[in-house]
Amino acid sequence: MRLVEYEGKALLAARGVAIPHGLVFGPGAVPPAGPSVVKVQVARGKRGKGGGIVMAPDAAAASDAARAFLNSGFNGRPVCAVLVEERLAIAREFYISLIVDRGTAQPALLASREGGMDIELVPDESIVRVDLDRSIGVRDYHVRALARALGLETQARELGTLLRAMWDILIHERAIVVEINPVVLTHGGRLIAADAKIELDARSHPERTVLDDDRTGYERAVAPYDAVGVQMDGRIAVVASGAGVLMATADSLCKRGGSIAGILDLGGFPRALEVETKLFAATLMLRPVVVFFNFFTQFMRCDQFARAIVAAFAERSDVTIVARMKGAGADEAHRILDAAGMTVTESYARACEIAIAASQRVASR
């Protein structure tokens, strides 16, 4: 669940972090009198490059820009809100984020003196990393280390407030990512969170409304079942149980000449047959030529997967089903899919070959 900027800043401000003076534009709203920044509120990056951030010289110009966004949308989509803020006197910009490292399952702070730009473009040697421990959180020595690395020794107190606020959001709001880009040092020496990108675990916030949901219909359809779906634009939909197997399968298919229509990660736990059937049928929203199932299971049963596949696709002769089944219940799964006229094999290489060949046939998309 990605929060829009003003929602993220509200979480930071509630924890004592300085943010620019401003307001969410609406009826009766009076923008700042001086120069301001008008920012469309979408849960996506690169707003500036896409024309979603406008510099306004005065309140009248800010109001006009805000109304234009609300009336016309942004990049072909409706806009949920527009934020109008004071324009800061920027001396320096920094990047600071708090993430959970998937390899260690521990939090880590990432920071750079090169803020205000895509972190992907920052050289690795310019990124400072401070590993944290869940049991102790952010300590003074973490703050001092980052302040030295960024040249913010004079602003160490404000930096500490920011880092502890980010930590509190990560832990108590069940955040996945807390990113401030840029953190601005003004000419007056103030440290201000000029932007906020915060993503929460949606399962921990069932009551919260997503203001700007940029997921596709397919991605929204599978989410309520604790599955992860990503829509792409190729011809083969890939279904697997576990992110590692799923990504390895997609990469392998691409290297062999295939193209991916989308992916579906079932995770590592079993579901009821009717739920699996709904999830498998949802892949049809990707308009695939082939749906490729790769299951190598120990605890979940291949035969139940096979029954769900048949229930979801028995009436769809326009889509080729290719399944690689190995593990618990695999023999029965092979019998079920064979009886339904669907391709099933234990050989991963053979399954890839069949899927790619089928996907390359002329097909109406």
- Per-residue model confidence as pLDDT tens digits over 217-229: 898 899 888 888 9
The whole-angstrom separation of Cα 276 and Cα 354 is 24
Diameter of the chain by CA atoms?
75
For residue 168, give Cα distances in angstroms to 16, 98, 112, 175: 12, 11, 21, 9
Give span(s): CATH 3.40.50.261, the chain: 217-359
What's the average model confidence in pLDDT over 314-335? 91
What's the average model confidence in pLDDT over 324-352? 92
Instruction: Classify strands 343-345 and 320-327 as parallel, antiparallel or unpaired.
Output: parallel
Give span(s): CATH 3.30.1490.20, the chain: 21-86
Give yes or no for a contact between 245 and 238, defined as CB atoms under 8 angstroms apart: no
Could you tell me how far CA 162 lies from the centroid of its own chain? 23
- Per-residue model confidence as pLDDT tens digits over 268-318: 777 889 999 999 999 999 999 999 999 987 778 899 999 999 999 988 988
- Residue 206: its pLDDT value, please? 65
HEC per residue, the chain: CECCHHHHHHHHHCCCCCCCCEEECCCCCCCCCCCEEEEECCCCCCCCCCCCEEEECCHHHHHHHHHHHHHHCECCECCCCEEEEECCCEEEEEEEEEEECCCCCCEEEEEECCCCCCHHHCCHHHEEEEECCCCCCCCHHHHHHHHHHHCCHHHHHHHHHHHHHHHHHHHHCCEEEEEEEEEEEECCCCEEECCCEEEECHHHCCCCCCCCCCCCHHHHHHHHHCCEEEECCCCEEEEECCHHHHHHHHHHHHHCCCCEEEEEECCCCCCCHHHHHHHHHHHHHHCCCEEEEEEEECCCCHHHHHHHHHHHHCCCCCCEEEEEEEECCHHHHHHHHHHCCCEEECCHHHHHHHHHHHHCCCCCC
299: tokens are 């605890």
- Per-residue model confidence as pLDDT tens digits over 7-53: 999 999 999 999 999 999 988 788 888 999 999 998 766 787 788 99
Task: State the chain's mean pLDDT as an integer.
Answer: 90
**21-86 in CATH: which number?**
3.30.1490.20
Residue 364 has pLDDT above 50, yes or no: no
Domain 90-204: CATH architecture, name and number where available: 2-Layer Sandwich (3.30)
The whole-angstrom separation of Cα 36 and Cα 191 is 18
The whole-angstrom separation of Cα 218 and Cα 239 is 14
What's the average model confidence in pLDDT over 116-125? 75
Number of Cα atoms under 13 Å in the Cβ half of residue 91:
10
- Residue 105: its pLDDT value, please? 79
- Residue 211: its pLDDT value, please? 61
- Residue 312: its pLDDT value, please? 94
- Per-residue model confidence as pLDDT tens digits over 48-99: 778 899 999 999 999 999 999 999 888 877 888 999 999 999 999 999 999 9
Paired strand residues for 147: none
At the top level of CATH, which class does the domain 217-359 belong to?
alpha beta
- Per-residue model confidence as pLDDT tens digits over 166-216: 999 999 999 989 999 999 999 999 999 999 999 988 777 766 666 656 678
Model confidence band, residue 156 (pLDDT cutoffs 50, 70, 90): very high
- Per-residue model confidence as pLDDT tens digits over 232-276: 989 999 999 888 889 999 999 999 999 999 999 998 777 889 999
The whole-angstrom separation of Cα 42 and Cα 5 is 8
Residue 126 has pLDDT above 90, yes or no: no
Give span(s): CATH 3.30.470.20, the chain: 90-204
Of 298, 303, 172, 173, nearest to 241 by C-alpha is 298
Residue 362 has pLDDT above 70, yes or no: no
